[in-house]
Amino acid sequence: MGSYSSTEEETLDDFGESGVDDLVVSLYQMDLDRTLFLLRSYLRLRLQKIEKYMMHISKSEDLLSRLSQQEQRFAKSCTEMMEKHLEQSVLSKLPYGYDSVTRQSLSSTEDDMGIPFDLIIIPEPQLDTFVFCKTKSDVGAFQLDDIGEEVVDLVADDLYVLRYKSIKGLVESGQIDLI
Amino acid sequence: MAGQSDPHLSIFSPSEVEFVAEDEIVEIVPNIRMEALNMICGDFGPFFPQIASKVPLWLAVALKKRGKCTIRTPDWMTIDSDCLIAYLSVLLLYIFMVLDAERESPKEFQPLPFHYIEISKLLFDHARDDISDAYLVRSLIEDIRDVRFHKVETGLETISGRTHAVKLKNLSAMEVNIVRPFMVRTLQAFYKHDSPQMIQQADNTGSRPTPVTDRGPRRDLRRR
């Protein structure tokens, strides 16, 4: 990405020198600026997400593999810094058993329903939330929950508000676009 | 409501939506000769005087600002010229038809381009002189916008605890953006309080601490 836009920039410089029409140069410059703006917003958004869910991401190999090398480095150093900070400011002053970054307390690893407490401390993306999406092709009757109570008929090129969790597969296979 | 309170992750600003709309293709009639442009976003041209050519909206506006072209008004923004004289009585205009149809059907949205608000705004700002009957078209588009938005608002009232999916055929980008925060939070709140787990918790209040209130509802509990 970086190398592509810098080649474009060099081409623009060449244009300026070789006396190509100013209008054309300025149009190419606008095209380049728009592309860079888009790429920067995209990267910034990814970094925001990493910062928010760094603990969650660094726990899972699958999620880590979706990041670029630079992003992985960022996530790692971010997590380390956060852990160090929590350790120094609070955790080191707490009694034994309550001094873990990822766990509320050592003795109660699970609540009485068998759900581990770790989940509560580490911020995770909320996949249960609702999203706006547009279908690309006909999907047909689609089941939203596990037990088949909620079924929607997804028609091509229509706009829906659905729970992300239930359409995750469709998003990943490219049948539906988030908007 | 953790995860939703951060506005940066889920909401676009109106100018960002406009940025996206600037990639929509419009037709221009250049008044200069220009070589083809091979851009990152695609190849356009070559351009010859008086011969129409298709370019993205941002390029059209840039050329228009420099006085190098006129922008052809998209079909959906035109008023049929044959009936121009009688336009107030006969209403045979495309845009009039949209407005009429919009008022007739209270639940549905009429098909309009996904970015109709942004495109019309950009064209009115930069290419006003290329639009015939600009004043009338502008007030009609504003009317359409109001009628449609009223529908969105009435639609919001029908959301209830049993709403697991909402279908919004033909809703446009800007309308989506405006309604997104309300819609998502409403659905989310209903979904959360409707979940069997929440109901069960309300039954035996006090018998057990509830450390999981801010976690997503777990549908699988319903099987019992």
Report whether CATH 3.90.79.10 matches the domain B7-205: no
Q: Are residues A139 and A165 in the same domain?
A: yes
Number of domains in chain A: 3
Q: Are residues A27 and A67 in the same domain?
A: no
One digit per residue, pLDDT tens: chain B, 224 residues?
A: 233 344 444 578 888 899 999 999 999 999 999 999 999 888 998 999 999 999 999 999 999 999 999 999 888 887 755 444 434 433 445 666 677 777 777 677 878 888 999 999 999 999 999 888 888 888 888 888 888 888 888 888 887 777 778 888 888 899 888 888 888 888 888 888 877 666 665 555 444 443 433 334 333 333 33
Q: Are residues A38 and A86 in the same domain?
A: no
Q: Are residues A75 and A104 in the same domain?
A: yes
- pLDDT, residue B2, reads 30
| Cβ contact, residue pair B168, A111, below 8 Å | no
Which candidate, B205, B207, B162, B214, places its Cα nearest to that of B187? B162
Range of the domain at A135: 130-178
Is A15 an interface residue toward B (CB < 8 Å)? no
Extract the runs of DSSP E, i.e. beta strands, from B118-173.
166-167
Each domain of chain B, given as residue ranges in start order, spans 7-205
User: Cβ(B29)–Cβ(B69) under 8 Å?
Assistant: yes
- Comparing CB atoms, the residue among A27, A120, A129 nearest residue B211 is A120
Q: Are residues A46 and A61 in the same domain?
A: no
**How close does chain B come to A93, measured CA to CA in Å?**
24
Tens-place pLDDT, residues A48-69: 889 888 888 888 888 888 999 9
| Cβ contact, residue pair A146, B166, below 8 Å | no
Q: Are residues A63 and A106 in the same domain?
A: yes
Is A141 an interface residue toward B (CB < 8 Å)? no
Q: Are residues A34 and A86 in the same domain?
A: no
| Cβ contact, residue pair B34, A23, below 8 Å | yes
Q: CA-CA distance, B48 to B28, in Å (whole number)? A: 11
| Residue numbers in A near B24 (CB within 8 A) | none
Q: Are residues A46 and A58 in the same domain?
A: no
For residue A145, give the CATH number of its domain.
3.40.5.60
- Comparing CB atoms, the residue among B165, B184, B191 nearest residue A160 is B165
